[in-house]
């Protein structure tokens, strides 16, 4: 991450328009603490900001140490059979991809102008009916499983309303960041080999290779009788 704290320019939806994107690429993964550290170091420099949260200007920029501390707390809680919630974030290599919308005295919402990587807490649901794992389902029966990284493939210009494919050009600098992210995850994580009722089921939801040593203490997996 870029450690020189900067704040996006202040603007409004009336001036900027509303971002419209579609056809998301999504990767859901649970990494060990050491793996998340390695991932951050392997990526090009980027900025991290809270998504969908009202923040003061001095709290808008999420530093690398803060992000890693939050993720460490989440994993350490799982190892103690406890649950913590990870907050959503935007990752971008350029501040020009976002702006800050003021909603009160020193209160702002960070809004994307062009495609950025979106991070959300990931939960999956195992259905007894169809015997399948369903990602990004939040319910009392869901299992907390790291983060979902999302990046869109179609972009609509908010002013001209012309559609374009999100490519690896200078117009979309976060494409290279997402490609670097997915390359690293392919090398250091794998589809999760869940064991349900004695049967192995390989699921696209990913797990870091170093997480196998502790994953079966996960309290929600134990409650459902699912192992890895």
Is 1 a member of any domain?
A: no
Is 209 a member of any domain?
A: yes
- In this structure, how many other beta carbons lie within 10 angstroms of the beta carbon of residue 89? 22
Angle (nearest 5°) at CA 151 between 78 and 96: 110
- Residue-level pLDDT at 5: 59
Is 201 a member of any domain?
A: yes
What is d(CA 58, CA 77) in angstroms, rounded to the nearest whole number?
Answer: 28
Is 205 a member of any domain?
A: yes
Angle (nearest 5°) at CA 43 between 37 and 44: 140
Secondary structure element (H or E) that encloses residue 14, with its range: helix 13-16
Beta strands, E only, the chain: 20-30, 47-50, 89-92, 98-104, 107-112, 117-127, 132-135, 143-156, 163-165, 189-196, 199-208, 226-227
pLDDT digits (tens, 9 = 90+) for 20-73: 999 999 999 999 999 999 999 999 999 999 999 999 988 899 999 999 999 999
- Residue-level pLDDT at 76: 97
The residue range of the domain holding 137 is 18-227
49 alpha-carbon distance from chain centroid: 12
pTM of the model: 0.93
Is 12 a member of any domain?
A: no
Q: How many domains does the chain have?
A: 1
- Residue-level pLDDT at 129: 79
- Collect the ranges in the chain with pLDDT lower than 50: none
Nearest to 50 by CA among 96, 103, 112: 112
Is 118 a member of any domain?
A: yes
Is 7 a member of any domain?
A: no
Is 163 a member of any domain?
A: yes
158 alpha-carbon distance from chain centroid: 24
């Amino acid at each position: 991450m870029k450690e020189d704290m900067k704040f996006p320019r202040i603007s409004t939806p009336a001036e900027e328009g509303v971002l419209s994107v579609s056809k998301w690429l999504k990767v859901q993964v649970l990494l060990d603490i050491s793996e998340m550290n390695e991932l951050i170091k392997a990526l090009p420099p980027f900025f991290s900001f809270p998504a969908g949260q009202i923040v003061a200007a001095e709290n808008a920029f999420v530093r690398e140490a803060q992000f890693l501390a939050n993720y460490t707390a989440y994993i350490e809680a799982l190892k103690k059979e406890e649950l913590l919630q990870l907050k959503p974030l935007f990752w971008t290599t350029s501040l020009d991809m976002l702006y800050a919308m003021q909603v009160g005295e020193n209160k702002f919402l960070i809004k994307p102008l062009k495609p950025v990587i979106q991070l959300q807490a990931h939960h999956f649901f195992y259905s007894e009916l169809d015997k399948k794992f369903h990602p990004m389902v939040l319910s009392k029966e869901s299992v907390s499983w790291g983060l979902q990284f999302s990046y869109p493939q179609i972009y609509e210009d908010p002013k001209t309303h012309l559609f374009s494919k999100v490519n690896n050009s200078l117009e979309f600098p976060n494409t290279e960041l997402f490609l670097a992210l997915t390359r690293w995850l392919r090398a250091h994580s794998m589809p999760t080999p869940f064991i349900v009722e004695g049967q192995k089921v390989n699921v696209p939801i990913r797990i870091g290779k170093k997480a196998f040593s502790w994953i079966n203490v996960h309290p929600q997996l134990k409650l459902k009788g699912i192992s890895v």
